[in-house]
Amino acid sequence: MASFATSWLCIFFLLCCAYAGEAEYILYKDHKQHLNNRIKDLLSRMTLAEKIGQMTQIERKNASADVMKNFFIGGVLSGGGSVPAPMASAEVWVNMVNEIQRAALSTRLGIPMLYGIDAVHGHNNVYNATIFPHNIGLGATRDPELVRRIGVATALEVRATGIPYTFAPCIAVCRDPRWGRCYESYSEDHAVVQAMTEIIPGLQGDIPANSSKGVPYVAGKDKVAACAKHFVGDGGTHNGINENNTIIDRHGLLSIHMPAYYNAIIHGVSTVMVSYSSWNGVKMHADYNLVTGYLKNTLKFRGFVISDWQGIDRITTPADVNYTYSVQQGVNAGIDMVMVPYDYPTFINELTSLVNKGVIPMSRIDDAVRRILRVKFTMGLFEIALADLSFAEQLGSREHRDLAREAVRKSLVLLKNGKRANEPILPLPKKASSILVAGTHANNLGYQCGGWTIEWQGGSGDTTVGTTILDAIKFTVDGSTDVIYSENPDASLVKANNFSYAIVVVGETPYAETNGDNLNLTIPDPGPSTIQTVCGAIKCVVVIISGRPVVITPYIASIDALVAAWLPGSEGQGVADVLFGDYGFTGKLPRTWFKSVDQLPMNVGDKHYDPLFPFGFGLTTMPTGRMISGAVVRNEHYGMVSLFINLLVTFIVSKTCCFEGCLFFDWE
């Protein structure tokens, strides 16, 4: 009898467990359920405090466990230079992100937070990451497939540190190089910018064939959510002043600054960041007609809209003069997640009060949270919220550095090659008795990477891991060639040595955003004097490191060859690869090179277009390499078709130039 009773007790216990298990079923946690059903179920369970928490993104320094749990914070970010420790490893990053995530998961509903970072030319905040050329250099490549591969590599390196979201790409159309963010723009021509949105499927993965337009998509744990920015017209501000007013009619806005957003949305971009700038006097962060009316309703964007860093604060002038008004205007305009890195309690209190008073309708809050949840569900954060170290070896990998080196090669634009057309100086001979390398930028990794590298404004010296242009030159030349380096040589040094030729590397020092606004665009000292001292005495190649065209008219006559290298990033070897002819010059100007700043703004198609070098200009050289029957062949394995084409090209051009100096005058 006792045995019979025990059996029934066991059965009863199992039935209770089964019932309890069934009762614990939560629809939004079931990945087999339709996305919309999961969103609807979770949204129905959320309090106002939990909803407003999801709309709040804070700086990682403030993201303690208590803050995450008490305020139900939905997003965390690293600002420029905000790192868990100097030179932090992938493991240190992953542990930090997971610590914050565990706090988010411990809340009542367990909604994972979304961590974002500005990986705008590679994973640029992180030590030892691959630093790719800034966007202006990628625009010079005219190679969307290359940019797509850079997106793939960047996603892997971002995931290596446990981060699933990047505030990239910037798809601004820079119409004035005096703008401090011009290097973040691929081109002055919207068509080039549109083509370069191919980086989005690189970062996020290809959207499914049957996907609806505007629906965000992230393919898996090796991909990251992307962010198209800054909506809209940020590259067209008056006099190129950062965060200023873009004065243009609706047709101009839609035909120049908007087209890349069409492409981004078609690619399934997850988020869109609003610009600090204004359009005809209306702050973009408060522009309902563009943010909600056009982006969400006309373009059918279904991801979420995020503010820029303290973006709603700047709706008023001066900032914060009426914060309640700013919150009301920003959220009602259609901003879904608000970047309030520091004073998040005030934002949360103000937004809560505005909702309770009916100034901001609950429907607007629900729309914002629905969009945020859609992105989080699509990313798979509810299934895999915590990161691991499975991608740690991707950070700064050899494969990615080789890709960056390729991008550098393709980004270089040859503006001049020889003082006479029939006397080219490039490619340079690798074997020479001695050569001079000069200039502030020849041996400075921080300078060649530019802003948004380790620190927000960039830095000087060995800020991260990479190859300087000087080291690349030393590696490339013949072992018997003596390489003499002087940052700023005087005339006596130049004259006392019988240099075969000189390579002068000068340009802009690093900057970001407003700190880069510049009305004169001159090369900083001692760059001009270095050019004059060296090029006035010996044959010279000048390599300009800059985020935009700069003033070169006073020096160009004395320069034998001129190369625009933009901001090439960590892999300086790509510069030497082309200077010495292992690869040819192929880059084309992504923007017009002016004669004088008095001409600005000046863009291709303008009525009075009179540039020093026009948009799309770029001389082309053939690679030297090793010779087979007169054809240029590098160390790759060429198929018969490639060899035939090479031989044909050789035959066509052999009557007019030699391979050591052959050039073609190419426009777009």
| DSSP per-residue string spanning 97-136 | HHHHHHHHHTSSS-PPPEEEE--SSBSTTSTT--BPPPHH
Residue showing tokens 């905000």: 82
At residue 23, the pLDDT reads 56
Nearest C-alpha neighbor of 60 from the set 73, 72, 75, 78: 78
Q: Which residues contact 35 (CB under 8 A, 6 or more apart)?
A: 374, 377, 378
Q: What is the pLDDT of residues 246-271, one digit of tens each?
A: 999 999 999 999 999 999 999 999 99
What pLDDT sits at residue 210?
86
Rounded distance between C-alpha atoms, residue 225 and residue 372, angstroms:
12
Question: What is the DSSP secondary structure assignment for residue 12, as one 8-state letter?
Answer: H
Element (H, E) at 65: helix 65-71
The answer to whether the CB of 505 falls within 8 A of the CB of 441 is yes
User: Would you state the pLDDT for residue 649?
Assistant: 35
Handedness of CA 219, 221, 223, 225 (dihedral sign): positive
In the predicted structure, residue 25 carries a pLDDT above the cut 50: yes
End-to-end Cα separation, the chain, in angstroms: 95
Catalytic hit among 50, 176, 308, 336: 308
pLDDT in tens, 73-123: 999 999 999 999 999 999 999 999 999 999 999 999 999 999 999 999 999
Pairing verdict, β 540-545 and 245-246: unpaired
* 11, pLDDT greater than 90: no
Indicate the pTM of the whole model: 0.91
Residues shown for the chain: 668
Instruction: Give the per-residue pLDDT at 200.
Output: 98
Cα separation, 298 vs 294, in Å, equals 5
Alpha helices by DSSP H, 340-430: 344-356, 362-379, 398-411
Residue 608 has pLDDT above 60, yes or no: yes
453 phi/psi in degrees, rounded to 5: -135, 110
Residue-wise pLDDT tens digits, 31-63? 999 999 999 999 999 999 999 999 999 999 999
Nearest to 596 by CA among 608, 584, 607: 608
Helices (H), 240-361: 250-252, 259-266, 288, 323-333, 344-356
Q: Percent of the chain scored above 70 by pLDDT? A: 90
pLDDT, residue 642, reads 36
Contact (CB, 8 A) for 352 and 342: no
DSSP structure class, residue 189: S
**Region 334-352: what's the mean pLDDT?**
98
Q: Which two tokens stand for residue 19?
A: 């019932």
Provide the pLDDT confidence category of residue 211 given band limits of 50, 70 and 90.
confident
Q: Which two tokens stand for residue 1?
A: 């009898």
**Confidence at residue 91, expressed as pLDDT on a 0 to 100 scale:** 98
The count of other CB atoms within 10 Å of the CB of residue 175 is 26
Residue 599 · residue 551 · CB < 8 Å: no
Helix locations, 142-213, DSSP H: 144-160, 190-196, 199-204
If one counts every other C-beta atom within 10 angstroms of the C-beta of residue 162, the result is: 24
Instruction: Reply yes or no on whether 308 is catalytic.
Output: yes
Confirm whether 455 is a catalytic residue.
no
Residues 360, 347 contacting (CB under 8 angstroms): no
666: confidence class by pLDDT, cuts 50, 70, 90? very low
| Model confidence pLDDT, tens digit, residues 283-294 | 999 999 999 999
Q: Is the distance from CB of 595 to CB of 604 less than 8 angstroms?
A: no
Q: How far apart are CA 378 and CA 316, in angstroms?
A: 35
Residue 421: pLDDT band with limits 50, 70, 90: confident
Q: Among residues 438, 465, 364, 414, which one has the least CA distance to residue 129? A: 465
- The catalytic residue among 118, 157, 184, 513 is 513
The DSSP element (H or E) to which 36 belongs, if any, is: helix 35-45
Preceding amide of 232 cis, omega within 30? yes
pLDDT band at 625 (very low <50, low <70, confident <90, very high): low
pLDDT value, residue 14: 47
